[in-house]
Each structure stands twice: as structure tokens, then as C-alpha cells.
Amino acid sequence: MASLVLFINSFLSYLLLFVLIVALVVVACILGAKWRKSSDLKKAGVAGPTMPETVETGK
């Protein structure tokens, strides 16, 4: 019985580690894709979304 508890404990520890690594990989892929898109836009000379400098009121 004690060996079963030790096995389950080890299994859950490695499972938690695996889930943590997968989550980090997903976050890294999302950030990498975002940074790549912004880098490509900068190289192409396209500015991102900008705010207008002045607001016309129509007077």
C-alpha cells in the first residue's frame, strides 16, 4: 500500500511539472507570434494603430 501512495505522489508531481511546462510553452508561442508580427510591421514601415493628433468639432 505504501508503494502505491509513493507511486501516485510521484506521478502527480511529474504531471504537475508537465502541465507547468506546457503552459509556459503556450505563453512563449503566443508572445513570440505577437512580437514577430510587430517586428514584421516595423520592417515593412507600417505604423500600428495611432490616435489622431487633433479632433475636428465641425464649427
CA 13 from centroid of its chain's CA atoms: 24
CA distance 56 to 50: 16
Q: 48, 38 in Cβ contact below 8 A?
A: yes
Q: 44, 37 in Cβ contact below 8 A?
A: no
pLDDT of residue 57: 73
pTM beyond cutoff 0.85: no
pLDDT tens per residue, the chain (59 residues)? 899 999 999 999 999 999 999 999 999 999 999 999 998 888 888 665 666 677 677 66
Q: 19, 29 in Cβ contact below 8 A?
A: no
